Amino acid sequence: MELKRVVVTGLGTINALGHNVAETWENLKNGISGCDKITQFDASKFKTQIACEIKNYDVTQWIPKQDARKMDRYAQYGVIAAMEAMEDSGLVVGQFDSDRAGVIWGSGIGGLQTFQDEVQAYIANGKVPRFNPFFIPKMIADIASGHISIKYDLRGPNFTTVSACASSANALVDAFNYIRLGHADIFIAGGSEAPVTEASVGGFNAMHAISTRNDDPKTASRPFDKDRDGFVIGEGGAALVLEEYEHAVKRGARIYAEFVGGGLTADAHHITAPHPEGRGAAKVMQFALRDAGMKPEDLDYVNLHGTSTGLGDIAETKAVKEVFGDYAYQLSISSTKSMHGHLLGGTGAMEALVSVLAIKHGIIPPTINQFNLEPEIDPKLDFTFLKAKQRQIRSALSNTFGFGGHNVSVIFKKI
């Protein structure tokens, strides 16, 4: 069968670098770090006391208080990102077929703060079990997609993908496939996470997974640096409006880029560590290229997963060299997690959004906080260290990998 073409017609985000796409892109271009001391709880007793929190967050700027109190912060972030993406797309409810429009959202954890709060309150109360009637609908990982579909009367496919840090990239690939197979015209796809909680920080500390560079938060996330000591937790969400090409053209939509391919693999190696040779990472990029009908040399930019972890950074660069061969040295690559942090289940959508903006503006966002390159990493690769650079970008690939060995790559092309 002939597959439909899929394009990006709307973008939205809220994260540590900005309350919208414009603020975020400006700070990305300028190499700004969103990391600082944790303010959402007293982190003084934790090994890690820093995170990429959203600054000056007041949910009532976007969502009425009576509605917001029924949502965990992860769902609030999802709705806020979707609101910007829908406005950006120019889509108006009632002017498209709602039965052919849906939501696929990704979250690796869901309402962790809600779960933590309710359990703490139950333990403190002791004698009589009292729970908030919104406990379950605030906590469950699928509820953000439900809120978004209700807000915009989107009656097509609606569900949430959960694959740890690959969750929202999985959501994008699923939405892409529904549209190109002709089952829908429009999707709001993306993901969100609100992991700046005691439980999350404590859990990642126990794994020695996150940075403890509390004395210098702005340089804590150091992808590919020999002194990196783990990733930095980030919060927020990102949404992309994906649309069937002819549907978008017919309504005169502004098109950012074409979504041309996606790949999914598993490392089948370890619950938290990547395969040391980047086996799954290499395969997922190859599968995405094959799905897009592209050769490695058709790409100009790769947004790396690049978490600032000891094993992950090395494995991913090995995979890039395996897939691209000598052409790897002509690629521009970078890890924007060095600025916005690791949004866990929301990170795939966040970095897909960054990749689309890179194509639109012809700018490679940098990898900041590079001081001493990890000796096991090839210094001839162009990591776009410290400063953004201009480059004509025909197409961009974004990698996202998650605990459990989940790997997703997505490819966007200039149109």
What is the C-alpha separation between 123 and 14, in angstroms, rounded? 33
Helical packing angle, 112-125 and 198-206, nearest 10°: 100
| Per-residue model confidence (pLDDT) at position 131 | 93
| Per-residue model confidence (pLDDT) at position 126 | 75
> How sure is the predictor about 13, in pLDDT bands with cuts at 50, 70 and 90?
very high
Task: Identify whether the C-beta of residue 264 lies closer than 8 Å to the C-beta of residue 299.
Answer: no
Average pLDDT over residues 229-245: 98
The pairs formed by 216-220 with CB atoms below 8 angstroms and a separation of 24 or more are 217/33, 217/35, 217/36, 217/37, 217/50, 218/33, 218/35, 218/36, 218/369, 219/33, 219/369, 219/371, 220/35, 220/50, 220/369
| Per-residue model confidence (pLDDT) at position 129 | 86
β-partners of residue 397 are 302, 411
What is the overall mean pLDDT for the chain?
97
The pairs formed by 264-269 with CB atoms below 8 angstroms and a separation of 24 or more are 264/170, 264/173, 264/406, 264/407, 264/408, 265/407, 266/404, 266/405, 266/406, 266/407, 267/405, 267/407, 268/405, 269/405
- Nearest CA to 80 out of 303, 236, 248, 252 is that of 236
Tens of pLDDT along 36-70? Answer: 999 999 999 999 999 999 999 999 999 999 999 99
Report CA torsion sign: 385, 240, 8, 23: negative
Tens of pLDDT along 125-178? Answer: 877 888 999 999 999 999 999 999 999 999 999 999 999 999 999 999 999 999
| Per-residue model confidence (pLDDT) at position 125 | 85
Tens of pLDDT along 300-352? Answer: 999 999 999 999 999 999 999 999 999 999 999 999 999 999 999 999 999 99
β-partners of residue 262 are 410
Task: Identify whether the C-beta of residue 309 lies closer than 8 Å to the C-beta of residue 315.
Answer: no
- Three-point CA angle 396, 399, 402, nearest 5°: 165
**DSSP alpha helices (H): ranges in 108-265?**
112-125, 135-139, 143-152, 167-180, 198-206, 245-250
Enumerate the active-site residues: 165, 305, 342
Going along 231-318, which residue ranges are E strands?
A: 236-244, 257-266, 301-303
β-partners of residue 398 are 303, 410
| Per-residue model confidence (pLDDT) at position 104 | 98
